[in-house]
Structure 1
Amino acid sequence: MIHPHAAREHPPVRIALTGANGGYGRTLLAQLRRTPELVPAVLVDPDAAGVRGTLSELGTDPGSITLLPDATDLRWDDVNVLVEASGHVGAGTAYAEAALAHGVHVVMVSKEVDTVAGVALAARAETAGLRYLPADGDQPANLLRLVDWVSATGLDIVAIGKSGEYDLVFDPGRGTVEYAGTTIDAPGLAALLNLGDDARTTLRERAALLTALKRSAAADLCEMTVVATRTGAVPDVEGLHYPVARIAELADIYADRERGGVRGRDGIVDVFSALRLPGEASFAGGVFAVVRTDDPVTWEVLRGKGHVLSSDGSHACVYWPYHFMGVETPLTIHAAVTGEGVAPRARPTTLLAARAVTALDAGTNFRVAGHHHEINDVAPVMVDPDAGAAPYYLLDGARLRHPVEAGALVRIDDLDDVAPAPLAAYLDATSQEVRA
């Protein structure tokens, strides 16, 4: 049974979806069958055959929807909201700019676009009386909703973040850890399942047993940059902590260092690797906020009800163990139209930059590739704003003009063949900040 809701009562909202044949696009198209007030009017993807196949699988008549390989011929007057899910910085920035220029709200799924051009796009939307919003269903928007809820209660937030996309599943009987389809031997984890009295030592020992697994991902830092630019939260370290943690330990782990935690300051953003046993509930790439407690009686009552508190009762963790991709995105589409519950505007508080892993020669070409949208030879790092440093995803398709030393940030002046739309948007945002 689908319950009635006030969202069903407003006039139809016509949607253009870019990246329509991607995994995210499919989940949204599937959900739009349940929300008749949200109409997929235009689907943009170079793989037209793939889009038709998806629509056929979903029982949707392709003849009722305009299919385009790109947005060149998109009739913006027929659209109310753009959902940008191409995942490509150059195309995605251009699509968003075109939408805003034609009075169309933007729901941004492509977090890569947001970390390069989001500040400028948000400013343009605000000037035009439009909405530019990160999409519910991915961790950034979900975490922003959680932060809004926690903040409204008056709780004192000290850390916010998410888990990595995949859990570490430890089988004590076999002494193995399964992670994202890879299984390794790690029998020593059996002795480290409890955090113990020395949390940081336990975390170091867990991490040492799992060095064969690549747990950090560019996508994680990208998502946390989206959150940082809207909350003012900052990374504690530029590559994030990535502690191997069980859910019940989060309040202890993100306590301040004087209490045995990893946190060096208040107001940080971070990512952890969720450790669980087979059959235990997953964190499912969910989001969390760690807060200071106040009244001990209140919080001991809550501990008794199963809430996550630190061992000394000084901190608690509030968390949502899910993100449902396009299943949740109708929430953002509604918010774009109504203006209710919108996320804070993006501001240039943190930069997702690229640090050379090794010495790079002139002529080195960069390309985003793989499931986690990584770029070879450079590491994503979250750093303080630096107008001369190149945003990580601005490197996609670019080429080095001259050598870059190992450990140095790649700078805009180091690059040739940069996609013009995101570069212009980024420079526009940084110049506005200087003028301000």
Structure 2
Amino acid sequence: MIHSHAVRDRDPVRIALTGANGGYGRTLLAQLRSTPELVPALLVEPDADGMRRTLAELGLDAGAITDGADVDWSGVDVLIEASGKVAAGTGYATAALEHGVHVVMVSKEVDTVAGVALAARAAEAGLRYLPGDGDQPANLLRLLDWVTATGLEVVAIGKSGEYDLVLDPATGVVTQAGATVHAPGLVDLLDLGADVRATLARRAELVAGLKRSAAADLCEMTVVATRCGAVPDREDLHYPVARVTELADVYAAREHGGLLERSGVIDVFSALRLPDEASFAGGVFAVVRTGDPVTWELLRGKGHVVSRDGRYACLYWPYHAMGVETPLTVHAAVDGTGPAHAPSPSVLLAARTATALDAGTEFTVAGHHHEIDGVTPVVVAPEPGAAPYYLLDGARLRRPVAAGELVRLDDLEGLAPGPLDAHLFAQAQIAQAQIAQAQVAAAATEGVQA
């Protein structure tokens, strides 16, 4: 939801921010200097000294700093949850809603486990529970709102991976976030050619030495899917190595030379570019059916991304500015404006074992991409008893699990109770929906027989 500057003539909105001294927190706090109507009233950060240094650098005089053990919600209007920790984030969000505080959820890990329950709790209390603008899920949902409002038929939506693949054609070196591979053959594959899938397969082989998929990507796509009904075309996503100008050809139906087995899918691509080309910047896209060929040939001439056969086009926003954009969500939460995008348990970010795992194996979320050793994140249809990927954090196996299996709740012990209860709430919603569907089907059958 985009607001005019007039909205700033209001009583101050008091913000609590968790994970306040992280990278996201820094971008938000810096932006609050330009939005004086939004006040950082409470900062939850274990590193109090580091937090004070950041505030000094920014010239901010924020309110209380706490380690989170004792939060006073009486002076807070909106919680921005950015801890990235499922147990802690679920706890903060639950407490905020219990005290009449709106929640802007930046911790996508929390949302994939507890989002359905938290959104239901918020709705029951007359509060807002929203994904934060500036992160890819909220931005993609905003783009999707715009695209569908125009009447365009969506074929695929998604984002690029966090870091581009930058090819130096003079040396054949591909760089991704400081990591490099020597792939001179990629220079000859800068054009898709007649066989799109063959070109994409060859590109993937040449950059296999780079880590292109990340749990964070599948997590973000799960946040989107639960709010719009999109599904993955494959559980681990396609991750094509593609140039921005190719997206309308890449995300075409297989019968038209593209990757897709179906329409209405979520996916992630690795953005391939040359050093002097602009980055996709982890931005978001929507591939649509074009309809009238004359219209889209006109738009192709103006530089829009249209497939070679004219059937598809790609609309995209090549940015996600993190906390710089999140003030928009804070206003939407307080004013009740814009779509709420309540999540439903339509897909599950699950954990599939990468190898056979022994009883006693412990799981910990770690690293920049918030991943768990021993298991692979997959986006699947909800399956009774399957454990959410990020619910595994801090848990351990109570029995062996073979390679290639989904980790199930019954396989685990030491699960955090708050997130577990929230997930079970979502499972109960699925069961209730199935019962209702069965009753409708039975009634229809009786009507036909009568």
Alignment of structure 1 residues 160-199 onto 2, 5 Å: 160-199=157-196
**Structure 1 residue 310 corresponds to structure 2 residue 307:** yes
CA distance in 1, matches of 2:7, 2:212: 39
One-letter amino acid of the counterpart of residue 52, structure 1: R
**Structure 1 residue 19 corresponds to structure 2 residue 19:** yes
One-letter amino acid of the counterpart of residue 58, structure 2: L
Deviation of 1:4 (Å): 7.1
Identity %: 72
CA distance in 1, matches of 2:414, 2:355: 22
Q: 1:428 aligns with which of 407, 425, 428?
A: 425
The equivalent residue for 2:116 is 119
Q: 2:386 aligns with which of 377, 381, 389?
A: 389
Q: Secondary structure at the match of 2:260?
A: coil
The equivalent residue for 2:7 is 7
CA distance in 2, matches of 1:69, 1:27: 20
**Structure 1 residue 233 corresponds to structure 2 residue 230:** yes
Q: Secondary structure at the match of 1:51?
A: helix
- Does the aligned pair in 2 maintain the 1:358–1:407 contact within 8 Å? yes
**Structure 1 residue 154 corresponds to structure 2 residue 157:** no
CA distance in 2, matches of 1:180, 1:122: 35
Q: Deviations over 1:126-146 (max 9, x none)?
A: 111110000001100000000
- Does the aligned pair in 1 maintain the 2:128–2:340 contact within 8 Å? no
Q: Secondary structure at the match of 1:409?
A: coil
Alignment of structure 1 residues 36-435 onto 2, 5 Å: 36-61=36-61, 64-70=62-68, 72-435=69-432
One-letter amino acid of the counterpart of residue 345, structure 1: A
Deviation of 1:380 (Å): 0.1
- Does the aligned pair in 1 maintain the 2:254–2:261 contact within 8 Å? yes
Q: Which residues of structure 2 form unaligned runs of 5+? A: 434-450
CA distance in 1, matches of 2:348, 2:131: 17
Query: What is the root-mean-square deviation in Å for CA atoms of aligned residues?
Result: 1.0
Q: Secondary structure at the match of 2:142?
A: helix
Q: Alpha carbons of 1:179 and 1:401: their partners in 2 closer, same or farther (altered >3 Å)?
A: same
Instruction: Output the TM-score relative to the length of structure 2.
Output: 0.95
Deviation of 1:180 (Å): 1.1
- Does the aligned pair in 2 maintain the 1:203–1:243 contact within 8 Å? yes
Deviation of 1:153 (Å): 0.3
Deviation of 1:296 (Å): 1.0
One-letter amino acid of the counterpart of residue 210, structure 2: L
CA distance in 1, matches of 2:122, 2:134: 22
One-letter amino acid of the counterpart of residue 69, structure 1: D
Q: Secondary structure at the match of 1:162?
A: strand
Total equivalences in the alignment? 431
The runs of at least 4 aligned residues of structure 1 exceeding 3 Å deviation read none
CA distance in 2, matches of 1:343, 1:259: 36
Q: Alpha carbons of 1:102 and 1:12: their partners in 2 closer, same or farther (altered >3 Å)?
A: same
- Does the aligned pair in 2 maintain the 1:107–1:336 contact within 8 Å? yes
CA distance in 2, matches of 1:53, 1:309: 49
- Does the aligned pair in 2 maintain the 1:218–1:374 contact within 8 Å? yes
Q: Deviations over 1:271-324 (max 9, x none)?
A: 000000011000000000000001111111000000000001000000000000
